[in-house]
Amino acid sequence: MTKPVRKAVFPVGGLGTRFLPATKAMPKEMLPVVDKPLIQYAVEEAIEAGIEQFIFVTGRGKTALEDHFDHSHELEDMLLEKGKIDTHKIVLDILPEPGSVFYTRQMKPNGLGHAVWCAKELIGDEPFAVLLADDLVMAKGKCCLRQMIDVYNETGGNVVAIEEVPREETNKYGVLSVMSDDGRIAQANGLVEKPNPEDAPSNLSIIGRYILEPEVFKELAKQERGAGNEIQLTDAMAKTMDRVEFRGLRFDGRRYDCGSKLGFIEANLAFALERDDLRDGVQELLKTFSQ
């Protein structure tokens, strides 16, 4: 019997240097896609997947994230006074249940593995999810994390979301070494962080969605550094493969890399085109750029 996945970690301590100067005073996770910040999409995905506790690993200058998921009484009162009932509901609907949100501080930006390790005391001896807000997923049907939890509930072990990338881009991702693959779920026997294309064991890359057994904390506690002289989550996961099964899921949906400027622009267009109130206007705008 597998334990339920009740907790999710959101590593949000990064500096967002690729989006300077916009992120000089604003967390990159607060960059809006249409009218919602990236972090809200990630939290809403976690809620849809049944997550009960939300753990944010923050850094300096990230108070806007905490404020976003808290009451703003002045704003709420003003909206009610002006009769903006629908907008008032939208503001309240983003708030998780009281007592379900936790914050811990990553003192130094030492890599994703280090950020996850900072949440170890809040996770305890439970499986948990990790969501990177930079990777925005537009799913078909069930959200990406829900699809992954369904697989975990059947198999246990570590489960990551994967997608195929051009081989020349494998040096940007953690890449699976695969022992079996049915076209949907790949059973992995190894992981390599950002391999050179000629050395990559496959073109199956991990995106920013993970379900991990707590065994990974034993490896992260060693604080061993890997690619970029950082503590890599991929390295720690790879070292648990002798005792924890590892699967990659080809999720049903489309991932947008909002850590890149082009990916961020593409996500804004894609999500706007999904909205009834914006679709026609955006299509008309796009026509003006194609002339």
60 belongs to a structural domain: yes
Closest by CA to 251, choosing from 141, 131, 132, is 141
Cis-peptide, bond into residue 195, ω within 30° of zero = no
Query: Do 10 and 42 contact (CB within 8 A), yes or no?
Result: yes
* Within a domain: 199: yes
Share of residues in the chain with pLDDT > 70 (%): 99
Give a yes or no: residue 274 inside a domain: no
Distance, CA of 15 to CA of 21 (rounded, Å): 11
**Structural domain contains residue 2:** no
Determine, yes or no, domain membership for 271: no
- What CATH number is given to the structural domain containing 225? 3.90.550.10
What pLDDT was estimated at residue 247? 94
For all residues of the chain together, what is the average pLDDT? 91
Q: What is the per-residue burial (b if ≥16 Cβ within 10 Å, else e) of 150-160?
A: ebbeeebbbbb
**pLDDT tens digit string along 13-35?**
888 889 989 988 889 999 999 99
pLDDT for residue 1 is more than 80: no
Total of domains in the chain = 1
How far is Cα 174 from Cα 191, in angstroms, rounded to an integer?
7
Would you state the pLDDT for residue 291?
65
Q: How far apart are the first and last CA of the chain?
A: 59
Q: What is the tens place of the pLDDT at every residue in 146-165? A: 999 999 999 999 999 999 99
* Domain, as residue range, for 53: 7-259
